[in-house]
Chains A and B, each alone.
Chain A
Amino acid sequence: GEDVEQSLFLSVREGDSSVINCTYTDSSSTYLYWYKQEPGAGLQLLTYIFSNMDMKQDQRLTVLLNKKDKHLSLRIADTQTGDSAIYFCAISYSTGKLIFGQGTTLQVK
């Protein structure tokens, strides 16, 4: 079945890099996403990667995809206090349906 797993919590110091990891089981996904959710807010699309890509960089964000291991990661360079939030990885199918991980709470000290 479809399953997406994330670690629940990450704490980093301001200025350090953050790496949030995600694993999934279904390899038929088309796009893989990272969303950010701040308290009381909806989901903000941060970045996404097509399933036939290995890496995507967008300013401070780097997404790495290892299709063989079904592993997705999000690296945030120079982490700031404003980056504190819950980060969700999600995989999508051609129908547009999204399967979400449990979310990783990023705490920036």
Chain B
Amino acid sequence: SAVISQKPSRDICQRGTSLTIQCQVDSQVTMMFWYRQQPGQSLTLIATANQGSEATYESGFVIDKFPISRPNLTFSTLTVSNMSPEDSSIYLCSVGRQGTNEKLFFGSGTQLSVL
């Protein structure tokens, strides 16, 4: 399995500020994704992080609110911008190691609370 490190594991932030979440993988992976899990809910895909190019966003998510970087095949960041209490969620990165969608692994998640 892939070893995925996500930082921070949790944070409490003030309304209007931004938080950048990091996802580091122990080896090169072709697929990296960012998901959101709102309280008591299932997971929803925010975007696919593309190496060396702009991320591909799902309906309802925009780059200005959730800018994503992926400078190489082992690292990605997700920024939650201009936060409001509605952004309080768990944010998880997911990776696919083998260049296919077999075996998709998740990081431990970032628990974000916005006051």
A-to-B contact residues, CB < 8 Å = 30-31, 33, 35, 40-45, 48, 50, 88, 90, 92-98, 100-103
Contacts and interface: CB of A to CB of B under 8 A. Distances in A.
A100 B109 CA distance: 16
Interface residues of B, number: 25
A94 B101 contact: yes
28 contacts: A31-B104, A35-B106, A41-B109, A42-B107, A42-B108, A43-B109, A45-B1, A45-B104, A88-B43, A93-B101, A94-B101, A95-B31, A95-B101, A96-B33, A96-B48, A96-B94, A96-B96, A96-B101, A96-B104, A97-B45, A97-B48, A98-B35, A98-B45, A100-B43, A100-B44, A101-B42, A102-B41, A103-B42
Given A96-B48, A98-B94, A45 B103 contact: yes
Contacts of B111: 40
Given A41-B109, A88-B42, A96-B48, A31 B102 contact: yes
A98 B45 CA distance: 7
Contact of B104 (A50, A92, A102, A103): A92
Interface centre among B6, B100, B107 (most CB of A within 10 A): B100
B92 interface: yes
B43 A98 contact: yes
B104 A98 contact: yes
Interface centre among B41, B44, B45, B104 (most CB of A within 10 A): B104
